[in-house]
């Protein structure tokens, strides 16, 4: 109600609670298609309700290159775990959204949209080719 009225006139939503984020996305869904980019637990509801949800995996520490003894130690630890590579723990946002970007920039949203459109074009083209192939093989 109130959120729907605000969505009509506002273009930027800042400093809102997780529930308000979810309400804004639901209100925007009635107007058009929505893309939500988030990086934390507070974005989960909005990411689930958006048409396209993109989660960011932020890293607070810049990884440094391991020294030779550290690298050897990590190889020995991996071999001790039956050769299994340790799994990266994903955040709540990456579980809630269909797309996850391993970085902290929202520039990835353009690439995700481009990739989605390219995939859609490829799938439609394959359906057309398969349909034509079926018709040609039926009458040949």
Whose tokens are 């440094």? That residue is 64
Whose tokens are 């630890």? That residue is 77
Helices H / strands E in the chain, number of each: 6, 3
Is the domain of 17 the same as that of 54?
A: yes
Task: Say what the pLDDT of residue 59 is.
Answer: 60
CA distance 30 to 62: 41
Could you tell me the residue range of the domain that residue 126 belongs to? 107-140
List, for residues 51-90, the tens digit of each pLDDT value.
999 988 876 544 555 666 766 666 666 666 565 555 545 6
Is the domain of 55 the same as that of 123?
A: no
Task: Say what the pLDDT of residue 106 is.
Answer: 85
Task: Say what the pLDDT of residue 107 is.
Answer: 87
Task: Say what the pLDDT of residue 39 is.
Answer: 84
Task: Say what the pLDDT of residue 138 is.
Answer: 96
Is the domain of 39 the same as that of 101?
A: yes
User: In the chain, which residues have pLDDT < 50?
Assistant: 61-62, 88
Is the domain of 111 the same as that of 56?
A: no
Report the number of distinct structural domains present in the chain.
2
Is the domain of 102 the same as that of 36?
A: yes
Is the domain of 102 the same as that of 116?
A: no
């Amino acid at each position: 109600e109130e959120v729907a009225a605000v969505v009509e006139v506002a273009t930027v939503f800042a400093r809102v609670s997780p529930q308000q984020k979810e309400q804004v996305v639901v209100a925007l869904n009635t107007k058009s298609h929505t893309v939500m980019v988030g990086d934390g637990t507070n974005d989960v509801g909005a990411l689930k309700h958006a048409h396209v949800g993109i989660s960011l995996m932020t890293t607070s520490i810049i990884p440094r290159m391991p020294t030779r003894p550290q690298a050897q130690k990590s190889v020995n630890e991996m071999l001790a775990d039956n050769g299994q590579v340790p799994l990266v723990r994903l955040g709540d946002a990456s579980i809630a959204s269909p797309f996850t970007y391993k970085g902290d920039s929202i520039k990835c949203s353009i690439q995700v949209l481009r990739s989605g459109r390219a995939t859609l074009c490829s799938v439609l083209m394959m359906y057309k080719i398969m349909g034509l192939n079926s018709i040609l093989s039926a009458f040949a």
